[in-house]
Amino acid sequence: MSFQVFGLPVSRGVAIGRAVLVASSRVDVAHYFISDAQVASEIDRLRVARDVVATELGTLQRDMPAEAPPELSALLDVHLMLLHDETLTGATKHWIRERHYNAEWALSAQLEVLARQFDEMEDEYLRERKADLEQVVERLLSAMARGALPAGLAVPAVRDFGGEDPLVLVANDISPADMLQFKRSVFTGFITDVGGKTSHTAIVARSLDIPAVVGAREASRLIRQDDWLVIDGDAGIVVVNPSPIVLEEYRFRQRQIELERARLSRLRHTRAVTLDGECVELLANIEQPADALAALEAGAVGVGLFRSEFMFMNRAGELPGEDEQFEAYRAAVEAMKGLPVTIQTVDVGADKPLDRMSINELRHEHALNPAMGLRAIRWSLSEPTMFRQQLRAILRASAYGKVRLLVPMLAHPSEIKQTLEALARAKQQLAEAHRPFTDVEVGAMIEVPAAALILPVFLRHFDFVSIGTNDLIQYTLAIDRADEAVAYLYDPWHPAVLQLIAGTIEQARALGRSVSVCGEMAGDTEFTELLLAMGLRSFSMHPSQIAMVKQRILRADTRRLAGRLGAAMGSDDPAVTCAEAFGGAVQPALVALR
Ligand code: PEP
Ligand code: MG
Q: What pLDDT does 356 receive?
A: 60
**pLDDT(135) > 90:** no
**Tens-digit pLDDT profile for residues 91-105:** 999 999 988 889 998
Q: Determine which residue's CA is closest to atom 6 belonging to ligand 1.
A: 468
Q: What confidence category does residue 594 fall into, taking pLDDT thresholds of 50, 70 and 90?
A: very low
**pLDDT(161) > 50:** no
**Tens-digit pLDDT profile for residues 313-358:** 877 668 899 999 999 999 999 999 999 999 999 998 877 777 766 6
> Looking at ligand 1, which atom is closest to the CA of residue 521?
3
Q: What pLDDT does 365 receive?
A: 54
Residue range 156-170: mean pLDDT, rounded = 61
Q: What pLDDT does 27 receive?
A: 43
Q: Exposed e or buried b for every residue in 74-89, given b needs 16+ CB within 10 A?
A: ebbeebbebbeeeebb
Q: What pLDDT does 358 receive?
A: 62
Q: What pLDDT does 401 receive?
A: 97
Q: What pLDDT does 195 receive?
A: 86
473 CB under 6 A from ligand 1? Answer: no
Q: How far is the CA of 250 from the centre of ligand 1 (A)?
A: 33
Residue range 448-461: mean pLDDT, rounded = 98
Q: How far is the CA of 505 from the centre of ligand 2 (A)?
A: 17
Q: What pLDDT does 67 receive?
A: 66
> Looking at ligand 1, which atom is closest to the CA of residue 309?
9
Q: What pLDDT does 23 receive?
A: 59
**Rounded Cα distance, 258 and 273, in Å:** 25
Q: What pLDDT does 297 receive?
A: 95
**pLDDT(362) > 70:** no
Q: Three-state SS for 218?
A: coil
Residue 412 is a catalytic residue: no
Residue 578 is a catalytic residue: no
User: Which one-letter DSSP state was computed for residue 102?
Assistant: -
Q: What pLDDT does 483 receive?
A: 87
How far are the Cα atoms of 4, 23, 45, 183 from residue 223, in angstroms, in the given order? 10, 11, 29, 23
**Rounded Cα distance, 222 and 509, in Å:** 51
Q: What pLDDT does 569 receive?
A: 85
**Rounded Cα distance, 455 and 114, in Å:** 57
> Looking at ligand 1, which atom is closest to the CA of residue 203?
8
Q: Which ligand is nearest to the CA of 286?
A: 1
> Looking at ligand 1, which atom is closest to the CA of residue 198?
8
Q: How far is the CA of 476 from the centre of ligand 1 (A)?
A: 14
Q: How far is the CA of 31 from the centre of ligand 1 (A)?
A: 26
Q: What pLDDT does 350 receive?
A: 78
**Tens-digit pLDDT profile for residues 3-28:** 999 999 988 899 999 998 875 544 45
Residue range 369-373: mean pLDDT, rounded = 86
Q: What pLDDT does 123 receive?
A: 79
CB atoms within 10 A of CB 382: 10
Q: Determine which residue's CA is closest to atom 10 belonging to ligand 1.
A: 471
- Count Cα neighbours of 557 within 13 Å in the Cβ-side half-sphere: 13
**Tens-digit pLDDT profile for residues 513-560:** 999 999 999 999 999 999 999 999 999 999 999 999 999 999 999 999
Which one from 100, 518, 542, 578 is the annotated catalytic residue? 518
Q: Which ligand is nearest to the CA of 468?
A: 1
**Rounded Cα distance, 346 and 394, in Å:** 11
Q: Exposed e or buried b for every residue in 342-381, given b needs 16+ CB within 10 A?
A: bbbbbbbbbbbbbebbbbbbbbeeebeebbeeebbbbbbb
401 CB under 6 A from ligand 1? Answer: no
Say which residues have a Cβ less than 8 Å from residue 469's Cβ, sequence separation at least 6.
447, 492, 497, 501, 517, 519, 520, 521, 522
| Residue 267 buriedness (CB in 10 A; 0-12 / 13-18 / 19+) | buried
Q: What pLDDT does 148 receive?
A: 45
Q: What confidence category does residue 192 fall into, taking pLDDT thresholds of 50, 70 and 90?
A: very high
Question: pTM of the full predicted structure?
Answer: 0.77
Residue range 482-508: mean pLDDT, rounded = 94
Q: Three-state SS for 160?
A: coil
Residue range 371-382: mean pLDDT, rounded = 92
Which one from 200, 366, 494, 542 is the annotated catalytic residue? 200
Q: What pLDDT does 18 receive?
A: 93
178 CB under 6 A from ligand 1? Answer: no
**pLDDT(589) > 70:** no
Residue 438 identity (one-letter amino acid): T
User: Which one-letter DSSP state was computed for residue 99?
Assistant: I
Q: What pLDDT does 44 receive?
A: 94
Q: How far is the CA of 108 from the centre of ligand 2 (A)?
A: 34
Q: What pLDDT does 127 receive?
A: 76
Q: Exposed e or buried b for every residue in 511-542, given b needs 16+ CB within 10 A?
A: eebbbbbbbbbbbbeebbbbbbbbbbbbbbbb
Residue range 44-65: mean pLDDT, rounded = 86
Q: Three-state SS for 16?
A: strand
Q: What pLDDT does 20 receive?
A: 86
Pocket perturbation via mutation, ligand 1, pick of 179, 351, 377, 518 by most ligand atoms within 8 A of CB: 518
User: Which one-letter DSSP state was computed for residue 94?
Assistant: H
**Rounded Cα distance, 327 and 329, in Å:** 6
Q: How far is the CA of 516 from the centre of ligand 1 (A)?
A: 13
523 CB under 6 A from ligand 1? Answer: no
Pocket perturbation via mutation, ligand 1, pick of 179, 197, 198, 379 by most ligand atoms within 8 A of CB: 198
Q: Three-state SS for 9?
A: strand
Q: How far is the CA of 396 from the centre of ligand 2 (A)?
A: 25
Q: What pLDDT does 393 receive?
A: 98
Query: Of 58-67, 419-428, 456-465, 507-516, where does mean pLDDT reach its minimum?
Result: 58-67
CB atoms within 10 A of CB 69: 9
> Looking at ligand 1, which atom is closest to the CA of residue 305?
5
Q: What pLDDT does 152 receive?
A: 31
351 CB under 6 A from ligand 1? Answer: no
Q: Which residue has the higher pLDDT, 407 or 581?
A: 407
447 CB under 6 A from ligand 1? Answer: yes
Cβ atoms of 430 and 437 within 8 Å: the answer is: yes
Q: What pLDDT does 340 receive?
A: 98
Residue 456 identity (one-letter amino acid): P
Q: What pLDDT does 149 receive?
A: 44
Q: 341 pairs with which residues across the strands?
A: 303, 403
> Looking at ligand 1, which atom is closest to the CA of residue 447?
2
Query: Of 64-73, 192-201, 376-385, 420-429, where does mean pLDDT reach its minimum?
Result: 64-73
